[in-house]
Structures are given as C-alpha cells and as structure tokens.
Structure 1
Amino acid sequence: MIKSKHYYIRKAHRYLGVLLGLQFLLWTISGLYFSWTNIDEIHGDLQHKHPPQLSALSSFVSPTLVLNALPEKADSIRQITVINILQQPFYSIQYFSGNTIKMVLADAQTGKIRPAINKEEAVKIANESFVGLPYVKSVAYITTVGKHDEYREKPLPAWKIIFNHESNTNVYVAALTGKVETFRNSKWRTFDLLWMFHTMDYNGRDNINNWILRAFSVFGIITVISGFALFFVSSKRFRKKKTIE
C-alpha cells in the first residue's frame, strides 16, 4: 500500500512536535519570566547601595610611584583605577607580567602597596554596599568556581558574604580589587536557571552558539513548515482539486 504525502507529513509533524514540545514550553516559560520580572530586582539593585564618592580635595601621589614599587616587573599596564575602599582612596592596578595579568592595590595617598582584602574588610565593604543593616549569616573565601556557579567570569579570589535577608542575597567582593563585583539573590538564581533552559547551554549557560540550540532552532522551523504543509494538504479545497485532477 502506497502511503500518501499527507501521511508522511502528519507523521513527521507529530514526532517533531513531541521532540520539540517540551523545549518550546521551556522557551515560553523562561520568556515569560524574563519579560514579567523587574530586571532591577534580578540584578539586586534594590539592595545595592553605592557608598559616598571620594572627596575632590583628596591628595594623590603619582601612579608612577606605585608602578616602580610593583612586586613583579610590569611588561605593560592594562588598567589603573582610583577606587573607594571604606572611604579611603586606593589605586587598583592591573598589569601584565609575561602572559599573566596581575592585580594589586595601593594607597593612593602614600603609594604603598597593600595586601589583599581580608575577611573583616570584605564584610565591612559588603555591609556598606547593602541597603539597611542586614545580618551577616556567613562568610566564605572562594578561589575556584564551576561553570554553573552564581559567581562566574568574575575576579578570583573573592569573598562571599551571605546575608540573612528575605531576598537571600549573597554579595561578592573581589579580594585583589576591593570591589563589590555582584549581588546574587533568589530571583537572579531563578533567572539563571531559566536562562540555561532558554539558551540550551547545559555546559556553561552563557553560550548561545551551541549546537543543541542551533539544532532545535532548525527543527523548530521544520516543525512549523510541516504544520503549514499539513494544513494545506488536509484542506477540503486541496483534496477536491486533487480528486478533479
């Protein structure tokens, strides 16, 4: 018995629909969350308080003084920034020594290079950046992170300050720069999980050029086209025209 085109199109559409249906549902759910959630809440902006600016009357030494005192020879300078650490001005210097990027902090008023941010300083910096007077639940020093960690592609080592707050916010302070790198709360974690389903990057979450996403996008187009084809070959007008011929 010879199968009709209608049969093969319907069968292809059915199996493609089963294969892609769950992923389409995840794309829709994640898209709804992205569009209906306040991005400022996801970024932790409602808890993030920026400290007062440094006084313009502050006296600074020349960065050259600091560069001459670097612990390792600088082949080239990547960045020199004046930052505020607990209301004191510091130079945050990033430089290349060989093929390695080095980072140091130096007192901008004396030029003296200082050690990395310690635990007590990290807690003070995190508290200063947080709205209100939240209770610090625990503190952790992190030197490595996984591909699915909430603190990824950020400077290491870092201090993780966990606050006992309704938003379940963690504040990350980079030990070598003294900078509050990011806020991570419950809504961000939900966003991040749904982002993984949306991009289909189950390895690292942020690569939108992965082959799984590309394949499902192509299959999705084929499914839509097969649906249109099924509609036309199933229509009475098409069958009537075929019967006349």
Structure 2
Amino acid sequence: MNRIWHLRIRKTHRYLGLFVGVQFLLWTLGGLYFSWSSLDDIHGDHLKRPAVGFSASLPLASPSVAFQALKQKGIDSVFSVALIDVLHQPVYQLTYRVQHTGGSLMTHVQLADARTGQLRGALTKAEATAVAQQRFAGSSAIETVEYLTVTNDHHEYRGKPLPAYAVIFRQPAHATVYVAAQLGTLQSVRTDPWRVFDLLWMLHTMDYQGRDDINNGLLRAFSVLGLLSILSGFALYVASSPGLRRGRATVKPRQTQRQ
C-alpha cells in the first residue's frame, strides 16, 4: 500500500480514537454498571412494602355517590375508578378530564372516601409522610419532607404526577420516597444506586436534556464515528502487518513471471 495512504489511515485512526475514546470509556463503564446491577434494587422495589388489600365483605358506598358530587362541580364524565388504601382507609381514586383554555384536555384525579362517597382533598403533609412510612421497608428516621409542584428534566422525579411530597430518609442509601398528593399513592423510591444509574444512563445515551432519547443526533453521530474508528483500525492493521506485506511482495513477482 502507498506510504501516503498508510500515513493517512494512521492519522485518521489516531484522531478518531482520541475524539471518541472518552465516550467509549463512558459506554464501557455504564455497561459494566448496568450489567452488574439488579434492576429491582435500582428501582427501589426492595424498599417498598406491598400494598394491603381490603376484605371483600367491607361495606363501601357506591361510586355513583362520588359521581354525583363531581357532577355538581361541573364534571360529567369519569374515565376510571380505583380503590386504594390510604392509611388503612378505603379511598376511591376517580380519574376525569377537563377541557382547558385552548381546547387542551388535561387529566385530573379526585379522591373520595369509599365508605361514604364524599369527596376529600389531596393528601396533607402529615398524611403523605405517614403513607411513606407505611410503605417504606426501611427503618430509618425521616430527615426532611419537601413539597414539589414543579420538576425539571434532570430531577429524579421527572415526568411523574405533581404535586408530590418527597419524604427523605437517612438510610438506607439516602432513600427518598415520593408520594403524589392528589393520587394518594406512593410513586417511586429513589436511592444513591439509582442516582448513579441515572447519571451513567445519561452519559450512555448522550441525551443531556431529557436523558431518555436514544435516537438523538449526538448519539447517532458518535455511533458512526465509533464505527469509522474501528474500521480504520482494521485498515491500519492490514496496511502495517509485516506478514501481509510479505505476502503481497511474494505474489507480485509470480504474477510478473506468468505474464
């Protein structure tokens, strides 16, 4: 192979390796962490006590009682009804939609006492804290409780129902239990292993805005550059291999003699 081409391949491989090498390292570190971690532990499932059901003989009011109360508020359609446990009390979780200014439909949730059918408000701070303690499998004391009305794309509670209470426990692994105020239920448990996973996942997908878009242009570009780096390495091996060079040198004279 021409020496000029040999030098061009070597230089291309060197600079591509330098440019994408850091990202290759991050991909490798992320892959190691993902493959050696239990997703159940990452999601905090081991720190959630299972929800307790109610006896089938428990006397409950008809959901229609709550429907009538909603109708008086101007809401004439309900999409779903669920029976949930709020501090060992049966509560109806009524989901409905309201058309807001501009024509957009927004989903809302209304809680109602399942024994009487009367509507009730969202969880208070004390109630949300008690729900977190009831469902949290750890035994650590509570460090602080925060009330969230907004979150950004990098918050560990992003994309989940708001408002919510963040009940922060000291141990294990600085666990934070998120309870949705209007839904009356635990939404997620976040711990230090999850936060490491989330950071590595962002670096892995190269989505530095929302973290979950695996089709973003930056990832695609680095994937192509990574492929070119590998192919240039193969080309460099072919161009610089002494055995292959000797083979080519041996073949050429034989072809000349045949001619």
Aligned to 2:223: 217
Equivalent positions of 1:65-76 (< 5 A) are 65-70=65-70, 72-74=73-75, 76=77
Deviation string 1:137-170 (CA, Å, 9 cap, x unpaired) is: 1111000001110111100000010112132100
Residues 73 and 97 in structure 1, CA contact (< 8 A), matched pair in contact too:
no
Aligned to 2:85: 84
Deviation string 1:74-104 (CA, Å, 9 cap, x unpaired) is: 4643332111111111111111111121111
Q: Which amino acid aligns with 2:63?
A: P
Equivalent positions of 1:33-48 (< 5 A) are 33-48=33-48
Match status 1:118 vs 2:124 = yes
Instruction: Report the Cα offset of residue 18 of structure 1.
Output: 0.5
Which deviates further from its counterpart, 111-120 or 47-56? 47-56
Match status 1:153 vs 2:159 = yes
CA distance in 2, matches of 1:222, 1:76: 57
Match status 1:9 vs 2:15 = no
Q: Which amino acid aligns with 1:30?
A: G
- Unpaired runs of at least 5, structure 2: 100-104, 254-259
Deviation string 1:7-62 (CA, Å, 9 cap, x unpaired) is: 11111111110011000100111111111122222111222112422222122222
Instruction: Report the Cα offset of residue 182 of structure 1.
Output: 0.3
Aligned to 1:18: 18
Larger Cα-atom Rg = 2
Residues 138 and 171 in structure 2, CA contact (< 8 A), matched pair in contact too:
no
Q: Which amino acid aligns with 2:80?
A: Q
SS in 2 for 1:77: coil
Equivalent positions of 1:52-63 (< 5 A) are 52-63=52-63
What value does the CA root-mean-square deviation take over the aligned residues? Answer: 1.8
SS in 1 for 2:91: strand
SS in 2 for 1:68: helix
SS in 2 for 1:212: helix
Instruction: Report the Cα offset of residue 72 of structure 1.
Output: 4.3
Residues 51 and 128 in structure 1, CA contact (< 8 A), matched pair in contact too:
no
Residues 72 and 97 in structure 1, CA contact (< 8 A), matched pair in contact too:
no
Structure-2-length-normalised TM-score: 0.88
Match status 1:235 vs 2:241 = yes
Q: Which amino acid aligns with 2:116?
A: T
Match status 1:177 vs 2:178 = no
Residues 75 and 97 in structure 1, CA contact (< 8 A), matched pair in contact too:
no
Match status 1:206 vs 2:207 = no
- Unpaired runs of at least 5, structure 1: none
CA distance in 2, matches of 1:47, 1:10: 53
SS in 2 for 1:61: coil
Deviation string 1:85-143 (CA, Å, 9 cap, x unpaired) is: 11111111111111121111011121111000001100110000112432111111000
Runs of 4+ aligned residues of structure 1 deviating over 3 Å after TM superposition are 71-78, 240-243
CA distance in 1, matches of 2:119, 2:223: 53
CA distance in 2, matches of 1:12, 1:45: 47
CA distance in 1, matches of 2:25, 2:186: 36
Is the helix fraction higher in 1 or 2? 2
Q: Report percent identity of matched pairs.
A: 45
Equivalent positions of 1:128-143 (< 5 A) are 128-143=134-149
Residues 139 and 159 in structure 1, CA contact (< 8 A), matched pair in contact too:
yes
Residues 54 and 88 in structure 1, CA contact (< 8 A), matched pair in contact too:
no
